[in-house]
Chain A
């Protein structure tokens, strides 16, 4: 019973990711896209543990989720440090 509940919550989380994917695709500025990617990254760590529960190998997936959270953090820092000076920040209006 609990497994089906975790399965449905995982599916719901996947649907939520599509919402923040919208911002990652249509975001006017590059940093909006960074917000979308950061949101998806933080949702993926939870999704990983839900998947771990479904496969009954939680201790393996917890390590994967921890590594993913680390990488997501580093990626966001590097990207924001990179986009600070690039011109691609303003509205892409002509």
Chain B
């Protein structure tokens, strides 16, 4: 039963990753590309890692709980650092004077 749950979580994570990489390619501008890059990668990691942690924590022993706890720690760490990294990239872009994309109609 737990196998199915972790499989569903991992597949959900992969869908987020796939959406993220498609968004990185298709979006018109540097600033808009950062939305999928920052958010969907973090969400994808959350689902995939929790699915794997669930799969590992299945055969309950202290050792596996420790590994699953470490995986949860990685997820928490990435939840803190991924937005920070995205903010640093945007900060560099704004400082360098990269103008955001506007529709051709309005300038």
Q: How many residues of A contact B (CB 8 A)?
A: 48
CB < 8 Å: which of B7, B17, B56, B73 contacts A66? B73
How many chain B residues sit at the interface, stated as a range, is 35 or more
| Inter-subunit contact B33/A69 (CB<8 Å) | no
Chain A residue contacts of B21, Cβ below 8 A: 16-17, 19-20, 39
Nearest-neighbor residue (CB-CB) of A59 within chain B:
B67
Nearest-neighbor residue (CB-CB) of B55 within chain A:
A2
Chain B residue contacts of A23, Cβ below 8 A: 24-25, 33
Q: How far is the CB of B1 from chain A (nearest CB, A)?
A: 13
Chain B residue contacts of A77, Cβ below 8 A: 84-85, 88
Q: How far is the CB of A75 from chain B (nearest CB, A)?
A: 9
Interface SS of chain B: helix
B96 lies within 8 A of chain A by Cβ: yes
| Inter-subunit contact B41/A84 (CB<8 Å) | no
Chain A residue contacts of B71, Cβ below 8 A: 49, 62
List CB contacts (< 8 Å) of A1-59 with chain B. Answer: 1-2, 5-6, 9, 12-13, 16-17, 19-20, 22-23, 29, 31-32, 34-36, 38-39, 42-43, 45-46, 49-50, 53, 58-59
Chain A residue contacts of B17, Cβ below 8 A: 13, 16, 43, 46
Interface, chain A (partner B; CB < 8 A): 1-2, 5-6, 9, 12-13, 16-17, 19-20, 22-23, 29, 31-32, 34-36, 38-39, 42-43, 45-46, 49-50, 53, 58-59, 62-63, 65-66, 69-70, 72-73, 76-77, 80-81, 83-86, 89-90
